[in-house]
């Protein structure tokens, strides 16, 4: 192994974001790019070790001896799953993050890029949200367990840097969607839930489709393959422990009803969409600024939202049998 050879362990490698990184890395490998020749990538899922458990985490690191880590593994879920399981979201994610970062330190990992989320920012805030606001106030009550556990990654990163000089950093993606998402009705995020439920409705021949909530909340969505490219860029080029928001532009924020209409178009669903306003909407908006990203990575082009939705619906239809449903 040469001095500069990198072994990159991706925790949560079997999930939505992990699989997107794998796709991008495999494309680079086909093209034999300079980076790909110098890097070995390992994608681990929960069957390779339960990261809530310290000895299983240590064993995973001992097995692969990574020089770099992209840390994605987490208990993840949509609004309704979060509301029902705040304690588990907090405890499981705190344990996973503490184990992964301590194993990284003990194994002299040169860089860790962990994952926060724009939904962990304070509920009461000014807009747009930026990287300096992570700890400014309480998160929305619907997902406080997930949010506080994610915020503690930033605390750990600062502590490891102060005490030991580690380059442990974090990125803050907005809502992600794409192939290999979780399409389970109990725990999925809004886009995979709508894609799956509309497919179910079409198979049953329904003429109306109900969206939970008013359809009015605003969200920024990033296509998983775009996020994957940005994650890899951060790993290779971003040398700061300060978090960086990885999001589409502010003007690309859309309402949930726009999302539903685009999914309807991609599915060729001819029925009517109705809104169940007795159901929770969650936080009204979480508009995040990608100014820092735009200043450091000027040429990045995001996939147009409609194209990404179209490709995701096509992937789901082709892979429904094997998808996480
Ligand atoms: P997924 O739910 O698709 O994947 C989660 C991954 O974590 C899977 O690989 C899963 O393994 C692994 N995992 C979960 N629990 C454990 C455990 N106890 N031990 C080991 N591995 C575990 O998540 P995403 O890809 O959507 O999310 C990736 C990261 O991005 C997360 O940190 C998430 O918080 C963050 N994020 C996600 C957003 C989104 O909209 N999806 C938005 C912003 C941030 P397996 O499947 O094998 O069980």
Residue 251 to residues 128, 182, 220, 254, 289, Cα–Cα distance (Å): 11, 27, 9, 8, 10
Secondary structure (H, E, C), 96-138: HHHHHHHHHHHCCCCEEEEECCHHHCECCCCCCECHHHCCCCC
Q: Which atom of ligand 1 is nearest to the CA of 116?
A: 44
Distance 15 CA to ligand 1 centre (A): 5
**Hey, is 28 helix, strand or coil?**
helix
Q: Is the CB of 16 under 6 A from ligand 1?
A: yes
| Pocket lining: 117 vs ligand 1, CB cutoff 6 Å | yes
- Ligand 1 pocket residue status of 15, Cβ below 6 Å: yes
Tell whether ligand 1 has an atom less than 6 A from the beta carbon of residue 122. no
Alpha-carbon gap, residue 193 to 35, rounded angstroms: 36
Q: What local confidence, expressed as pLDDT, does residue 39 receive? A: 94
72 Cβ inside 6 Å of ligand 1: yes
266-295 as b/e: b if 16+ CB within 10 A: bbebeeebebeeeeeebbebbbbbbebbee
- 4 and 38 Cβ atoms separated by less than 8 Å: yes
Q: Is the beta carbon of 12 within 6 A of some atom in ligand 1?
A: yes
For the stretch 15-57, pLDDT in tens is: 999 999 999 999 999 998 888 889 999 999 999 999 999 999 9
Instruction: State which of 17, 19, 154 you would mutate to test the pocket of ligand 1, scoring each by most atoms of that ligand within 8 A of its C-beta.
Output: 17
| Three-state DSSP class for residue 175 | strand
17 close to ligand 1 (CB < 6 Angstrom)? yes
How many Å apart are CA 105 and CA 110, to the nearest integer? 9
- pLDDT tens-place string over residues 164-194: 999 999 999 999 999 999 998 887 889 999 9
How is residue 138 written in tokens? 């309480």
Question: pLDDT > 70: what percent of the chain?
Answer: 99
Q: Which residues are catalytic?
A: 146
Among protein residues, the one with the nearest Cα to ligand 1's atom 4 is 15
Q: Which of 23, 52, 73, 178 to mutate to test the pocket of ligand 1 (most atoms within 8 A of CB)?
A: 73
Whose C-alpha lies nearest to ligand 1, atom 44? 117
- For ligand 1, is residue 96 a contact (CB within 6 Å)? yes
Ligand 1 center to 270 CA (angstroms): 34
What is the predicted pLDDT for the residue at 78? 74
115 Cα: distance to centroid of ligand 1 (angstroms): 10
pLDDT classification of 323: cutoffs 50, 70, 90: confident
| Cα 133 to averaged position of ligand 1 atoms, centre (Å) | 24
Using pLDDT thresholds of 50, 70 and 90, give the confidence band for residue 215. Answer: very high
Does ligand 1 lie within 6 Å of residue 56's CB atom?
A: no
Give the CA dihedral 46, 49, 51, 56, nearest 10 degrees: 170
Contact 164, 106 (CB under 8 A): no
185 alpha carbon to ligand 1 midpoint, in Å?
16
pLDDT band at 91 (very low <50, low <70, confident <90, very high): very high
């Amino acid at each position: 192994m040469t001095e500069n050879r990198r072994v990159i362990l991706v925790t949560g490698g079997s999930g939505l974001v992990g699989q997107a990184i794998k796709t991008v890395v495999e494309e680079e490998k086909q093209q034999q790019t300079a980076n790909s020749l110098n890097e070995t990538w390992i994608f681990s899922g929960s069957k390779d070790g339960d990261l809530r458990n310290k000895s299983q985490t240590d064993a995973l690191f001992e097995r692969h001896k990574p020089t770099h880590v992209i840390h994605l593994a987490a208990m993840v879920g949509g609004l309704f799953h979060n509301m029902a399981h705040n304690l588990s979201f907090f405890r499981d994610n705190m344990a996973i993050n503490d184990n992964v970062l301590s194993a990284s330190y003990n194994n002299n990992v040169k860089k860790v890029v962990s994952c926060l989320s724009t939904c962990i920012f304070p509920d009461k805030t000014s807009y747009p949200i930026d990287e300096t606001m992570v700890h400014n106030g309480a998160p929305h009550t619907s997902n406080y367990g997930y949010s506080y556990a994610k915020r503690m990654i930033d605390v750990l990163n600062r502590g490891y840097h102060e005490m030991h000089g580690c380059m442990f950093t974090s990125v803050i993606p907005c809502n992600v969607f794409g192939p290999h998402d979780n399409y389970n009705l109990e725990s999925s995020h809004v886009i995979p839930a709508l894609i799956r439920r509309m497919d179910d409705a079409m198979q049953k021949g329904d003429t109306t489709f109900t969206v939970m909530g008013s359809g009015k909340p605003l969200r920024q969505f990033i296509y998983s393959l775009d996020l994957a490219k940005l994650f890899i860029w951060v790993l290779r080029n971003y040398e700061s422990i300060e978090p960086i928001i990885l999001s589409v532009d502010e003007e690309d924020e859309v309402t949930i009803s726009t999302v539903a209409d685009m999914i309807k178009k991609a599915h060729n669903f001819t029925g009517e969409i109705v809104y169940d306003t007795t159901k929770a909407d969650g936080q009204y908006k979480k508009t995040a600024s990608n100014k820092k990203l735009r200043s450091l990575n000027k040429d990045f082009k995001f996939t147009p939202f409609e194209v990404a939705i179209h490709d995701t619906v096509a992937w789901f239809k082709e892979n429904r049998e094997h998808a996480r449903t």
